[in-house]
Amino acid sequence: MHKDDLLELHEQMVIIMEYFRSQEDVDSSLFDPYDELSVEPSHVHKSKSEHKHAVFVLGNALATAMSEDEFSNAGRVGKRMEELANDAESKI
Protein backbone atom coordinates (compact mmCIF):
# COMPACT_ATOMS: atom_id res chain seq x y z
CA MET A 1 0.00 0.00 0.00
CA HIS A 2 1.34 3.43 -0.91
CA LYS A 3 1.68 6.05 1.80
CA ASP A 4 -1.05 8.22 0.22
CA ASP A 5 -3.47 5.28 0.37
CA LEU A 6 -2.49 4.59 3.97
CA LEU A 7 -3.11 8.23 4.91
CA GLU A 8 -6.56 8.06 3.29
CA LEU A 9 -7.40 4.87 5.20
CA HIS A 10 -6.14 6.49 8.40
CA GLU A 11 -8.37 9.51 7.78
CA GLN A 12 -11.45 7.34 7.19
CA MET A 13 -10.78 5.35 10.36
CA VAL A 14 -10.51 8.58 12.37
CA ILE A 15 -13.96 9.58 11.08
CA ILE A 16 -15.32 6.25 12.29
CA MET A 17 -13.58 6.74 15.65
CA GLU A 18 -15.20 10.16 16.04
CA TYR A 19 -18.60 8.57 15.41
CA PHE A 20 -18.00 5.95 18.11
CA ARG A 21 -16.76 8.59 20.55
CA SER A 22 -20.05 10.43 20.11
CA GLN A 23 -22.01 7.34 21.19
CA GLU A 24 -22.93 7.27 24.87
CA ASP A 25 -22.63 3.50 25.18
CA VAL A 26 -19.02 3.36 23.93
CA ASP A 27 -16.18 3.80 26.40
CA SER A 28 -14.09 6.56 24.83
CA SER A 29 -11.02 5.42 26.79
CA LEU A 30 -10.77 2.59 24.23
CA PHE A 31 -9.14 5.16 21.95
CA ASP A 32 -6.53 6.34 24.48
CA PRO A 33 -3.75 4.08 23.09
CA TYR A 34 -4.32 5.61 19.65
CA ASP A 35 -4.37 9.16 21.06
CA GLU A 36 -1.11 8.52 22.92
CA LEU A 37 0.67 7.77 19.64
CA SER A 38 0.24 11.37 18.46
CA VAL A 39 0.12 10.23 14.83
CA GLU A 40 -2.74 11.82 12.94
CA PRO A 41 -3.61 11.48 9.24
CA SER A 42 -2.57 15.10 8.68
CA HIS A 43 0.95 14.35 9.95
CA VAL A 44 2.34 13.61 6.50
CA HIS A 45 5.88 14.12 7.82
CA LYS A 46 5.57 10.98 9.95
CA SER A 47 6.85 7.76 8.44
CA LYS A 48 4.74 5.21 6.66
CA SER A 49 5.59 2.74 9.46
CA GLU A 50 4.27 5.14 12.10
CA HIS A 51 1.00 5.57 10.22
CA LYS A 52 0.72 1.83 9.68
CA HIS A 53 1.15 1.25 13.42
CA ALA A 54 -1.45 3.94 14.19
CA VAL A 55 -3.94 2.34 11.78
CA PHE A 56 -3.58 -1.04 13.47
CA VAL A 57 -3.87 0.44 16.98
CA LEU A 58 -6.96 2.37 15.89
CA GLY A 59 -8.34 -0.72 14.13
CA ASN A 60 -7.99 -2.68 17.36
CA ALA A 61 -9.85 0.02 19.29
CA LEU A 62 -12.63 0.20 16.69
CA ALA A 63 -13.05 -3.57 16.60
CA THR A 64 -13.16 -3.66 20.40
CA ALA A 65 -15.82 -0.93 20.40
CA MET A 66 -17.92 -3.02 18.01
CA SER A 67 -17.38 -6.40 19.64
CA GLU A 68 -19.66 -8.11 22.09
CA ASP A 69 -16.83 -10.29 23.37
CA GLU A 70 -13.41 -11.52 22.29
CA PHE A 71 -14.95 -14.45 20.40
CA SER A 72 -17.29 -12.39 18.21
CA ASN A 73 -16.20 -11.57 14.66
CA ALA A 74 -15.24 -8.03 15.68
CA GLY A 75 -13.45 -9.40 18.73
CA ARG A 76 -11.33 -11.68 16.56
CA VAL A 77 -10.57 -8.79 14.19
CA GLY A 78 -9.54 -6.71 17.20
CA LYS A 79 -7.17 -9.44 18.37
CA ARG A 80 -5.60 -9.65 14.92
CA MET A 81 -5.26 -5.86 14.76
CA GLU A 82 -3.46 -5.97 18.10
CA GLU A 83 -1.01 -8.56 16.72
CA LEU A 84 -0.43 -6.46 13.59
CA ALA A 85 0.05 -3.32 15.71
CA ASN A 86 2.70 -5.05 17.78
CA ASP A 87 4.46 -6.24 14.63
CA ALA A 88 4.28 -2.76 13.06
CA GLU A 89 5.58 -1.15 16.25
CA SER A 90 8.64 -3.38 16.17
CA LYS A 91 9.46 -2.01 12.70
CA ILE A 92 9.34 1.68 13.64
Check whether 70 has a pLDDT greater than 90: no
Domain ranges of the chain: 3-90
Residue pair 10/37 in contact (Cβ under 8 Å)? The answer is no
How far apart, in whole angstroms, are the C-alpha atoms of residue 69 and residue 43?
33
- Superfamily of chain region 3-90: Uncharacterised protein family UPF0058 (1.20.1270.110)
Nearest Cα neighbor of 57 from 17, 18, 20, 5 is: 17
Check whether 7 has a pLDDT greater than 70: yes
Check whether 9 has a pLDDT greater than 80: yes
**pLDDT for position 91:** 85
CA distances (Å), 68 to each of 54, 56, 59, 78, in order? Answer: 23, 20, 16, 11
Q: pTM, whole model, 2 decimals?
A: 0.84
Confidence band for 33, pLDDT divided at 50, 70 and 90: very high
